[in-house]
Amino acid sequence: MFAVHLMAFYFSKLKEDQIKKVDRFLYHMRLSDDTLLDIMRRFRAEMEKGLAKDTNPTAAVKMLPTFVRAIPDGSENGEFLSLDLGGSKFRVLKVQVAEEGKRHVQMESQFYPTPNEIIRGNGTELFEYVADCLADFMKTKDLKHKKLPLGLTFSFPCRQTKLEEGVLLSWTKKFKARGVQDTDVVSHLTKAMRRHKDMDVDILALVNDTVGTMMTCAYDDPYCEVGVIIGTGSNACYMEDMSNIDLVEGDEGRMCINTEWGAFGDDGALGDIRTEFDRELDLGSLNPGKQLFEKMISGLYLGELVRLILLKMAKAGLLFGGEKSSALHTKGKIETRHVAAMEKYKEGLANTREILVDLGLEPSEADCIAVQHVCTIVSFRSANLCAAALAAILTRLRENKKVERLRTTVGMDGTLYKIHPQYPKRLHKVVRKLVPSCDVRFLLSESGSTKGAAMVTAVASRVQAQRKQIDRVLALFQLTREQLVDVQAKMRAELEYGLKKKSHGLATVRMLPTYVCGLPDGTEKGKFLALDLGGTNFRVLLVKIRSGRRSVRMYNKIFAIPLEIMQGTGEELFDHIVQCIADFLDYMGLKGASLPLGFTFSFPCRQMSIDKGTLIGWTKGFKATDCEGEDVVDMLREAIKRRNEFDLDIVAVVNDTVGTMMTCGYEDPNCEIGLIAGTGSNMCYMEDMRNIEMVEGGEGKMCINTEWGGFGDNGCIDDIRTRYDTEVDEGSLNPGKQRYEKMTSGMYLGEIVRQILIDLTKQGLLFRGQISERLRTRGIFETKFLSQIESDRLALLQVRRILQQLGLDSTCEDSIVVKEVCGAVSRRAAQLCGAGLAAIVEKRREDQGLEHLRITVGVDGTLYKLHPHFSRILQETVKKLAPRCDVTFMLSEDGSGKGAALITAVAKRLQQAQKEN
Could you list the active site residues? Answer: 539, 602, 656
Q: How far is the CB of 68 from ligand BG6 (least distance, A)?
A: 15
Secondary structure of residue 480 in the 3-state scheme: coil
Dist. CA 594–CA 588, nearest whole Å: 13
Q: How far is the CB of 596 from ligand GLC (least distance, A)?
A: 23
Q: How far is the CB of 205 from ligand BG6 (least distance, A)?
A: 14
Q: State which residue, 709 or 836, has the beta carbon closest to ligand GLC.
A: 709
Dihedral over Cα of 700, 702, 703, 709: its sign: negative
Residue 252 CB, nearest approach to ligand BG6 (Å): 29
Q: Among residues 49 and 426, whose Cβ is nearest to ligand BG6? A: 426
For ligand GLC, the closer CB: 512 or 803: 512
Of the two residues 408 and 862, which places its CB atom closer to ligand BG6 in the complex? Answer: 862
- Helices of type H across 330-364: 336-342, 348-358
Q: Which of 19, 733 has the CB closer to ligand GLC?
A: 733
- Written in H, E and C, the secondary structure of 488-544 is HHHHHHHHHHHHCHHHHCCCCCCCEECCCCCCCCCCCCEEEEEEEECCCCEEEEEEE
Interstrand relation of 596-601 and 526-533 (parallel, antiparallel or unpaired): parallel
798 contact choice in ligand BG6, ligand GLC, none (CB below 5 to 8 Å, kind-dependent): none
Q: Closest Cα partner for 855 from 704, 587, 668, 696?
A: 668
Q: How far is the CB of 742 from ligand GLC (least distance, A)?
A: 10
Phi, psi of 11 (to 5 degrees): -65, -45
Out of ligand BG6, ligand GLC, none, what residue 415 binds, judged by CB under 5 to 8 A for its kind, is: ligand BG6
Residue 539's contacts (CB-CB under 8 Å, 6 or more residues apart) are 530, 531, 532, 556, 557, 558, 559, 895, 897
Which partner in ligand BG6, ligand GLC, none is near 570 (CB below 5 to 8 A by kind)?
Answer: none
Helix (H, G, I), strand (E, B) or coil at 409: strand
Question: Rounded distance, CA 198 to CA 374, Å?
Answer: 54
Mapping DSSP to helix (H, G, I), strand (E, B) and coil, where does residue 404 land? coil
Does residue 217 contact residue 233 with C-beta atoms inside 8 Å? no
Q: Which does 212 bind (CB under 5 to 8 A by kind): ligand GLC, ligand BG6, none?
A: ligand BG6
Is-contact 531 577, C-beta < 8 A?
Answer: yes
The interface partner of residue 787, options being ligand BG6, ligand GLC, none and the CB cut-off 5 to 8 Å by kind, is none
Going by C-alpha positions, the residue among 135, 137, 132 that lies closest to residue 115 is 132
The b-or-e profile of 175-213 (16+ CB within 10 A means b, else e) is: bbbeebeeebbbebbbebbeebeebebbbbbbbbbbbbb
Which of ligand GLC, ligand BG6, none interacts with 895 (beta carbon under 5 to 8 A by kind)? Answer: ligand BG6
Nearest CB to ligand BG6, comparing residues 88 and 888: 88
Q: Which long-range contacts (CB under 8 A, 24 or more apart) does 489-492 make?
A: 489/839, 490/711, 490/716, 490/717, 491/708, 491/711, 491/835, 491/836, 491/839, 491/840, 492/839, 492/842, 492/843
What are residue 307's phi and psi, to 5 degrees? -60, -45
Pick one of ligand GLC, ligand BG6, none as the site partner of residue 709 (Cβ within 5 to 8 A by kind).
ligand GLC
| Buried-state track 384-404, b at ≥16 Cβ within 10 A, e below 16 | bbbbbbbbbbbbbbbebeeee
Q: Report whether 258 contacts 452 (CB < 8 A).
A: no
What letter represents residue 186's amino acid?
Answer: V
With CB under 5 to 8 Å by kind, the binding choice for 343 among ligand BG6, ligand GLC, none is none
Q: Choose the contact partner of 153 out of ligand BG6, ligand GLC, none; CB within 5 to 8 A by kind.
A: ligand BG6
Q: If we measure between CA atoms, which residue out of 498, 552, 488, 482 comes closest to residue 524?
A: 552
The distance of closest approach from Cβ of residue 23 to ligand BG6 in the complex, given in angstroms and rounded to an integer, is: 29
Q: What angle do CA 176, 87, 297 make, to 5 degrees?
A: 90
The set of residues, in sequence order, having a beta carbon less than 8 Å from that of 319 and lying 6+ positions away, is: 310, 313, 363, 367, 370, 371
Give me the least distance between CB of 210 and ligand GLC, in Å please: 5
Q: Which residues bind ligand BG6 (CB under 6 A)?
A: 84, 86-89, 153, 155, 209, 212, 229, 231-232, 299, 413-415, 448-450, 532, 534-536, 600, 602, 656, 659, 676, 678-679, 746, 860-862, 895-897
Contact status, residue 487 vs residue 711, Cβ threshold 8 Å: no
If residue 264 lies in a helix (H) or strand (E), which one and from where to where? none
Return the number of the residue (230 or 255) whose C-beta is nearest ligand BG6.
Answer: 230
Nearer to ligand BG6, 164 or 656 (CB): 656
**Percentages of the chain per state (helix, strand, coil), in multiples of 5:** 50, 20, 35
* C-beta of 231 vs 303, nearer to ligand BG6: 231
At closest approach, how far in Å is the CB of 851 from ligand BG6? 34
**Cβ-contact 693, 501 below 8 angstroms:** yes
468: Cβ contacts below 8 Å, ≥ 6 apart:
none
Q: Please choose which of ligand BG6, ligand GLC, none residue 448 contacts, taking the beta carbon within 5 to 8 angstroms, the exact cut-off set by kind.
A: ligand BG6
Buried b (16+ CB within 10 A) or exposed e, 124-161: ebbbbbbbbbbbebbeebebeeeebbbbbbbbbbbbbe
Nearer to ligand GLC, 352 or 681 (CB): 681
Is 363:371 a contact under the CB 8 Å cutoff? yes
Report the interface residues with ligand GLC, using CB under 6 A: 86-87, 155-157, 172-173, 208-210, 229, 231-235, 260, 262, 294, 534-535, 602-604, 619-620, 655-657, 676, 678-682, 707, 709, 741
Which of ligand GLC, ligand BG6, none binds 600 (CB below 5-8 Å, type-dependent)? ligand BG6
Angle (CA) 543-545-547 rounded to 5° is 175
Amino acid at 851: E
In the complex, least distance from residue 788 CB atom to ligand GLC, rounded to whole angstroms: 22
Q: Nearer Cβ to ligand GLC, position 676 or 839?
A: 676
CB 656, min distance to ligand GLC, A? 5
411 binds, among ligand BG6, ligand GLC, none (CB under 5 to 8 A by kind): none
- Least distance from ligand BG6 to the Cβ atom of residue 12, Å: 36
Min separation Cβ 154 and ligand BG6, Å: 9
- Give the residue with the Cβ less far from ligand GLC, 603 or 781: 603
